[in-house]
Amino acid sequence: MNKYLTAKAFLIISFLTSLVCSGQTRANFASDVTIQIESFMAPPSWALLERELINANAVACREFFDKYFDERGYLMCVERWGGDDGPDDAIENVADWPILHMLGAPDDILDLYKKAWEGHLRQYTEAKTVEVPFAREGMYYKEFPVMMDWMHNGEGLRVFNLQGLSDPEDLNYKKRVRRFAGFYLNEDPEAQNYDFEHNIIKSMFNGSRGPLMRKTTGLDWAGDPIRVENRFHLGHGERSYEEMVAHFKDYNDIIGDHPQNMGATTLAANAFMLTGESKYRQWLLDYVDAWLQRMKDNDGIIPTNIGLDGKIGGAVGGKWYGGVYGWGFSPVVPQTGAPAHRNRVERGQIGFNNAFLLTGDRRYIDAWGAMIDNVNSNHREIDGQIQYPRMYGDQGWYAFEPEPWSAGALECYYFTCDPKDRIRMPDNAWIDFLEGSNPGYPEQALRRDFLRIRDKIGAMREDETTPDTRLADDPMAFNPATVETLRQLMLAGLDPGRGGALLHCRLRYFDPVNRRAGIPPDVGALIDEMTEDYVAVTLVNLDQTESRELVVQTGAYGEHQCTYVEVNEQRVLVDQSQFTVRLAPGAGTRLVIHNQRYVNQPTLGFPWIPSQALKSK
C-alpha cells in the first residue's frame, strides 16, 4: 500500500465493512476519513485501569446521588444564600460529572447530572432570603443567580458550562445558553449588566436582576442569620453567625469591574459555539480586548478595579490594586485576627483563554505569561532566601513566599508549547510524562484514583449529617467523581477548575454507533506525547470478539485541524477536525496526529450534527 494515502482511497477500504457492522449510514458525518486498525495488541495495564476507573466512578456517583438528592433532584440540605454556603455550592456537588460522561461513562451519569441541575434551578428559585434584600423573591431568577460575584457565579455554573460537551441538542440547554449570555449583552431589560461605551461589567455583583450599584455589607455576603453552634460545621471555620458576618465585613468595594467578571465570557463562548451568531463572539472579544488594553496601560499588571468612568481604579480612589478580591485585598480572619490574602485575579485568565480559543491569537496568552514574570521580578531576599510577592498594597508588593507566583503558568505553556512558558511552571508529573521523563505516571496516577474513590465513598457512608443539619457544601467533600488522570491521559486536557471555564483539550472522542459523546465501551486511549504540531495517542480495543469504532476530534470543540495521521509507517491525509478509527477485535496501535492548532472556529456540534459555527477563522 502506498505510504501516502489520500483520504478517499483509504476510505474505500473500510467504508462498506463499517456500514455492515454498525448498521448506520455515514452520509451526514463531518468525518469522511476512516483508519482501519487490524494489528493485535495485548490489553495494556493502563487501558484496563482506565476502563475500570470509568466504571468505578459511575458506580460511586450513583450511590452519592441516592444519598444526597431526592426524587425531584433537590439537594437535601438547608438552602442558604451567601458566599460562605450558597446556591453555587449546591450544584458543585456534581462537579466533573459532565466530563465523566463525555469521557465515556454510562448515559445515566448524564441523566443524573441533568436531574440535579433541573432540581437545582427549581430549588433555588423557590428558596428566598428574609433579610438579604436582592434575593427576597428567590435566590435564582430566570434560572440564574440574581446577583453575586463571579467567583461564586462561576462555581455555580461550572457543570452547566460543560453540558454542551455531551448534550448540545437539549432544548432547555439551548434556551439557557442564549438567555444567560443575553444577561451580559443587555438583551434583558432587567439585567443591564454591561456598559458598551466603556466595555465594563458595572459591578462585581451581577446576574439576572442586573448589577448591584452600591457597596456590599457583611449581610449581603453571609446571608440571613442562622444558628451555627451544635448544628453546622462551616467551611471557613466560623463558629457563629457573627463570625460569618465578620468574615465578610471588609467585602465592600464591589462597584465597577474586576478581572473575575471575565468568567461571564464562557456564557458568550458557549452561545457562539452553539449558534454561530457573531454577536456573542464580538462581545467576548471586545470585553477581553478592553482588559488586555488595561493591562498594557498598567505596566503589564491586570488592575483589579475599573470605575464606572472606565478608568483604572476609578471606583476606589484611583488605586489599580483596590477593591474586593483585588491585589491589595487582605481582610482579617475573625477567628484569629490574622490577615488573609485573597487576591483572585487568576479567575480573569478564563476570559483570555476563551478569546484565544476563538481566535488563536497568542497575545492573550503572552500577556498573562509576561505578567507572571513581571510579578516575580519584584522578588526580595528575606532571611537569606529569595521570596516572591502575591499581593500589592499602599506600601508596594507584599505577602512574599519562597515559590514564584505561578497562577496560570501551566495554562500558558499548554496553549503555546513554548519552552519559555515551560520554565515558569512548577513541577508537574503529567507534563513530565508527556516529555518522556516520567514513564510510570499513567499507571501510578490511575491506581491512586481508585484509592481516592474508595476513600470518598467510605467517608460518605460515615457522614451522619441530616437534611436539617447539612449545608449545601457539606457533601462536596464526598463527591466521588475522579476524572483528573482520565482527562489528562485520554484527552490531554486541562482542568476547567471551579471558575466555570470551558474544557481545553487536544483530543476528544465520539461513539458513532451509540450516537453519543465519549469513547466507546472497551476502548482505551493514552496520549503519551504532545507538541505544538502533533499529539500521539495509543488506541486499543479490549474486546477480543467484537470491533469498535470511534470518531477522534482534534480539540474539545473542533478548534484544531488534523492535517494527517501517521499510523503503522503510513501517512493518512485528513485535513479536517475529525476522523474515524475502526479497531478490529483486540486491535490497537499508536497514532501520531499532526495538527494546526486553533485554526477552526470552535463548535458544540457533533460529527453527525450539522453545525453553523464550524468554519475557518
- Give pLDDT tens digits for 324-345: 999 999 999 998 999 999 999 9
Instruction: Please list the residues that pair with 549 across neighbouring strands.
Output: 582
Average pLDDT of the residues in 363-375: 98
Q: Is it the case that residue 615 has pLDDT exceeding 70?
A: no
Q: Is it the case that residue 14 has pLDDT exceeding 50?
A: no
pLDDT category of residue 617 using cuts at 50, 70 and 90: low
**CA-CA distance, 103 to 258, in Å (whole number)?**
34
pLDDT category of residue 30 using cuts at 50, 70 and 90: low
**CA-CA distance, 546 to 585, in Å (whole number)?**
5
Nearest in space to 498 (alpha carbons), one of 329, 377, 344, 605: 344
Burial class (CB in 10 A: 0-12, 13-18, 19+), 338: exposed
Q: Are strands 578-583 and 34-37 parallel, antiparallel or unpaired?
A: parallel
Q: What is the pTM of this model?
A: 0.94
Residue 265 confidence (pLDDT): 98
Q: Is it the case that residue 84 has pLDDT exceeding 90?
A: no
Q: Is it the case that residue 8 has pLDDT exceeding 50?
A: no
Dihedral angle, C-alpha 561, 409, 268, 290, nearest 10 °:
-110
Q: Do 520 and 569 form a contact (C-beta atoms < 8 A)?
A: no
Residue 3 confidence (pLDDT): 34
Ranges assigned E (strand) in 138-268? 140-141, 144-145, 194-195, 200-201
Nearest in space to 467 (alpha carbons), one of 117, 68, 129: 68
Higher pLDDT, 223 or 84: 223
**CA-CA distance, 301 to 505, in Å (whole number)?**
28
3-state secondary structure of 306: strand
Helix (H) or strand (E) holding 534: strand 534-541
Residue 236 confidence (pLDDT): 80
Question: Could you give all domains of the chain from N- to C-terminal order, each with its CATH number?
Answer: 4-47+499-596 (2.60.40.1180)
% the chain with pLDDT above 90: 91
Residue 344 confidence (pLDDT): 94
Q: What is the pLDDT of residues 39-65, one digit of tens each?
A: 999 999 999 999 999 999 999 999 999
Q: Is it the case that residue 198 has pLDDT exceeding 80?
A: yes
The length of the chain in residues reads 617
**CA-CA distance, 33 to 35, in Å (whole number)?**
7
Neighbours of 213 (CB within 10 A): 12
Q: Are strands 396-398 and 391-393 parallel, antiparallel or unpaired?
A: antiparallel
Residue 31 confidence (pLDDT): 63
And the C-alpha cell for 403?
Answer: 515559590
**CA-CA distance, 50 to 446, in Å (whole number)?**
7
Share the mean pLDDT of the chain: 93
pLDDT category of residue 352 using cuts at 50, 70 and 90: very high
Q: What is the pLDDT of residues 108-135, one digit of tens each?
A: 999 999 999 999 999 999 999 999 999 9
pLDDT category of residue 233 using cuts at 50, 70 and 90: confident
Average pLDDT of the residues in 265-291: 98
Q: Is it the case that residue 205 has pLDDT exceeding 60?
A: yes
